[in-house]
Amino acid sequence: MPSAAPAVPRAIQVGLAGLGNVGAGVFKNIEANRDLIIQRTGADIRIRRIIVRDLARPRDVSVPESLLGTRWQDLTEDPEIQVVVELIGGTTTAYELVCAALKAKKIVVTGNKALLAERGQELFALAEQCGAPIYFEAAVAGGIPIIQVLQEGLVGNRILSIHGIINGTCNYILTRMSQAGLSYADALREAQEKGYAEADPTLDVSGWDAAHKAIILASLSYGFWIPQGCVHVEGVDKIDPADFKFAKRLGYTIKLLSVIRADKDGLVEVRTQPTLVPLSHVLASVSGSFNAVLVHGDIVGETLFYGRGAGQDPTSSSVISDLCEAAATLVYGARHSGFVPHGLYGKSKPVEDTISHYYLRLTVADEPGVLAQVAAELGSRGIGISSMIQPEDLEDTSGQSSLVLMIHDARLGDMLEALAAIRALNCVRGEPSWMRVETLQG
């Protein structure tokens, strides 16, 4: 148990790299809530130096010019700075900055999910070697304190699974496609106009932003750093509005879902892809730019964490939380490096061996025997059909129709083989549309 807060607050000197949307929020909100933070932590967190790319750039927050500079080494070389906050993004300069800060025995706070997903293993090893921790609450799900939940709140639980909607851009796009019947292109355009999507939305819509976050959550949950090459990722840009209509008829909606779980042999699967989610499940109601993370622990059962996954104030709230943790480390004593490896797990499950239900929509020739041909390709690989929809349109004279199948649990490798064979059938027109289905039961 830490001792009581010091009668005289201890000054904690912070170097801030990046004064963009989140960095400006960190500076603004620390100043606004300074008295509260002092009372709760016994620490007076002071921004001593701020590094930016362009000194002349207009900013939404008023910062004394004397604090600003452009050389990141000023943060790592200043002996008075105890904590370095990295909010510049990317994986090159940010990596150099974090390494230099750790080697200088400075605590690091970062919101950089790509950096941790790609180079987390070596950074946490360096942190352990240097005795300087890394805090990274802001790297996943904005203002939702999910990192602290896994590190502390559920530390006595084996994590059976995590299902997360952890990209606000994709969730907004899919919500608008579902509720307003918009095409993907129109929903993306609207998201960009409202500021939910970047001018170049590739990282978000490809699924990789969510996948980076999933790697971090999986690594914390299972005690080894998940290689990026073992993570299965699909984006949202190929989803057709018709899939939402059929999904609804079947009792589902579509979400970009990150799934993390370990099987009975301790093999860990990590994947992010558009997924059918039951309309009856709470995750189906997570709309707009909101995020939600459902964690299933062996002791606690299911717990749900919900909130804004991006934005200046939610994300800066997580950064400030980490700064308070860093202050507690400096005032009361050392903590762990930020990531605690262990050997209870240690291997990623090959994506081809992952198992789930599937949704499959085909455009097929309107002729007898089509279902039999498709079922034969599935059946020859041990894949069964649980239900089927073939809508009747008496006015359709195109000679083709939709065939929608719900598929029983199947190994992905077998499903991909079946899809290749189905695609080659003469009765199948165009590219099949298929997605995983998560029943979210237990």
The pair of three-digit structure tokens given for residue 70, joined into one six-digit string: 């452009």
Q: Give catalytic status of residue 238 as yes or no.
A: no
- Helices 168-180 and 241-249 pack at an angle, to 10 degrees, of 70
- Are both 10-141+312-332 and 354-437 of the same fold? no
pTM for the whole thing? 0.89
Going from N- to C-terminal start, the domains of the chain cover 10-141+312-332, 146-309, 354-437
Please give the order of strands across the beta sheet that includes 107-110.
68-69, 43-51, 10-17, 83-86, 107-110, 134-135
Residue from 105, 106, 113, 213 carrying the catalytic annotation: 213
| CATH code of the domain occupying 10-141+312-332 | 3.40.50.720
Say what angle helices 168-180 and 184-193 make with each other, to 10 degrees: 120
The architecture of the domain spanning 146-309 is 2-Layer Sandwich (3.30)
Task: Reply yes or no on whether the pLDDT at 393 is more than 70.
Answer: no
Helical pair 21-32 and 312-332, crossing angle rounded to 10 deg: 60
Q: Which CATH number fits domain 354-437: 3.40.50.10860, 3.90.1200.10, 3.90.280.10, 3.30.70.260?
A: 3.30.70.260
What would the pLDDT profile of 47-96 be if each residue is shown by its tens digit? 999 999 999 888 888 999 999 999 999 999 999 999 999 999 999 999 99
Q: For 275-303, what is the mean pLDDT?
A: 96
Digit-coded pLDDT (tens) for 213-226: 999 999 999 999 89
- Residue 1: pLDDT over 60: no
Mean pLDDT across the stretch 185-210?
93
Compute the 3-state secondary structure of the chain and give helix, strand, coil in percent, each to the nearest 5: 40, 25, 35
- The mean pLDDT of 9-38, rounded to a whole number, is 93
